[in-house]
Amino acid sequence: MDRSSLLQLIQEQISSKRSSSFKRAIANGQRALPQDGMLDEPGLGVYKRFVRYVAYEILPREVDRHWYFYRHRSCPPPVFMASVTLAQIIVFLCYGARLNKWVLQTYHPEYMKSPLVYHPGHRARAWRFLTYMFMHVGLEQLGFNALLQLMIGVPLEMVHGLLRISLLYLAGVLAGSLTVSITDMRAPVVGGSGGVYALCSAHLANVVMNWAGMRCPYKLLRMVLALVCMSSEVGRAVWLRFSPPLPASGPQPSFMAHLAGAVVGVSMGLTILRSYEERLRDQCGWWVVLLAYGTFLLFAIFWNIFAYDLLGAHIPPPP
């Protein structure tokens, strides 16, 4: 079967992204893969080479890589991660120009007055549990998060789709602020680290669990570098929280959002990434993860409503 015939056969049998499994069709003999490596063929354009790179970076099985390589379409583009990153940069530039401060912005007395920042004194303003992801401590945190969102988030969105990756990212962001409201009750939260760590930990866990099948180059070295960078970012957040280098009017942003995002990534994210071309609702593990996450949400909501008063928590006055 030549390439054109194979492409026509694939296109005819696709009705939606997850309508039928390519792997099951291969197993049933309904489709065939050529003997040579289609992903290694010469003469590809720049964009198609990038698609091939994404296939090798994200997917652990050759069958899945072939399937993604030939069925991928440039429309719709991976708009979610790009839009979030662009919005974060715009918000940072606006506040940087307004405060005339580009590093450690949280030390400026006007910074915490933003309607986007999560502050324990403003827990009733529920949107802040999500919108804090648009604010950042400074250029260093924004640069780290934006880089990972584009390097890891965009390829993940290209492979797994907008709905799945946006759900994972926002679940990490929400879990981050709710975890801080439970474990570090006096601290505010800024930055998209909860969502970033959900994406990164899900991808790294997927690479480890499919180590033999992953064909991304220098995967061990890149894994070590990623873990070192992520650990360094957490260490920096811990240092700023407990040993602030400058006098501040209140507690500095908590680091617990990073850890909460990592937990979401290893649980919910890994389930999503391992279900390529499979309906999530057909996966038993998906419902277990949803039940656990829903239980956490209910607990966190009741905690924020009742625990602060019952425990007599002394939170800093809202700005």
CA angle 122, 126, 130 (to 5 degrees): 105
Asked whether residue 301 carries a pLDDT value surpassing 70, the answer given is: yes
Domain boundaries, the chain: 79-311
pLDDT tens-digit map of 247-293: 766 678 899 999 999 999 999 999 999 888 788 988 899 999 999 99
**What are residue 73's phi and psi, to 5 degrees?**
-125, 145
Q: Which of 136, 160, 203, 258 is catalytic?
A: 258
Mean pLDDT rounded to a whole number for the chain: 85
pLDDT, greater one: 101 or 277: 101
pLDDT at residue 44, rounded to an integer: 77
Is CATH 3.30.1130.10 the right assignment for the domain spanning 79-311?
Answer: no
Which residue's entry shows tokens 């890589």? 65
Q: What's the whole-model pTM score?
A: 0.86
Catalytic one of 114, 166, 181, 193:
193
Mean of pLDDT values over 52-78: 86
pLDDT tens, 4-41?
Answer: 554 444 444 443 444 444 455 544 444 444 444 555 66
Question: 289-310 as b/e, with b when 16 or more CB fall inside 10 Å?
Answer: beeebeebeeebeebbeeebee
Number of Cβ within 10 Å of residue 117's Cβ equals: 20
**Paired tokens of 231:** 């650990």
Tell me the pLDDT tens digit for each residue of 192-227. 999 999 999 999 999 988 888 888 878 888 889 989
Known catalytic residue at 19? no
Given CA atoms 8, 11, 165, 262 in this order, what sign does their dihedral have?
Answer: negative
274 CB burial (10 A radius; 0-12, 13-18, 19+): middle
Segments in the chain forming alpha helices (H) = 3-13, 22-27, 46-58, 62-71, 79-99, 128-131, 139-148, 154-160, 162-183, 193-209, 219-242, 256-264, 270-273, 284-302, 308-310
Reply yes or no on whether 66 is catalytic: no
